[in-house]
Structure formats: structure tokens, C-alpha cells
Amino acid sequence: MKVSVDRSLCYGSAECAHRAPGVFAFEEGYGVVRPGAAEAAGDPSVREAVREAAEKCPSQAVRLTEEEPFSG
């Protein structure tokens, strides 16, 4: 799963940082993905917290993209 925050949509509710603090931080008034934390989203409990953060984001700024498995 790829995790990102669209700063053009984020208005700084910090909902993501409250729901998944291991993946998101609140910096300079915006939610951000912690460096290297996107890889942690492979853990099932973290993945669920990240999905909840995306669903509950009032500005819908959290983006989740499922990575397709390599088929080569």
C-alpha cells in the first residue's frame, strides 16, 4: 500500500496523525507521511489504522494506493 497526503486538500485537522501516529505526523499545519513509515503500512494493524485515517480525513487528503504484485 502506498500512502500519501495531498497538501492541496489538507487543511490541518491532524485526524490522520491521531489515528495512525506511527505513519502520519503533523508538521507546519499539515498532515504528512513520516519518512519511511509507508513501508510499515504492510503490517495488518497499521494498515487498518491507515485505512481508518483515510476514511475519517475530513478533507479527504489521505491517499491510499494498492500496489500491484510483481507478475514477472
**Confidence tier at 40 by pLDDT (50, 70, 90):** low
For residue 8, tell me if it sits in a domain: yes
pTM given for the model: 0.83
Asked whether residue 10 carries a pLDDT value surpassing 60, the answer given is yes
For residue 72, tell me if it sits in a domain: no
For residue 61, tell me if it sits in a domain: yes
What is the extent of the structural domain holding 19?
2-65
**Domain with 11 in it: what CATH number?**
3.30.70.20
**Maximum CA pair distance of the chain?**
42
Do the beta carbons of residue 62 and residue 53 sit within 8 Å?
A: yes
Average pLDDT over residues 23-51: 86
Ramachandran category for residue 39: left, alpha or beta (phi over 0 → left; psi -120 to 50 → alpha): alpha
Asked whether residue 69 carries a pLDDT value surpassing 60, the answer given is no
Q: pLDDT digits over 13-33, tens only?
A: 999 999 999 999 999 999 999
Rg (CA), the chain: 12
Looking at residue 65, its pLDDT comes to 86
The number of domains in the chain is 1
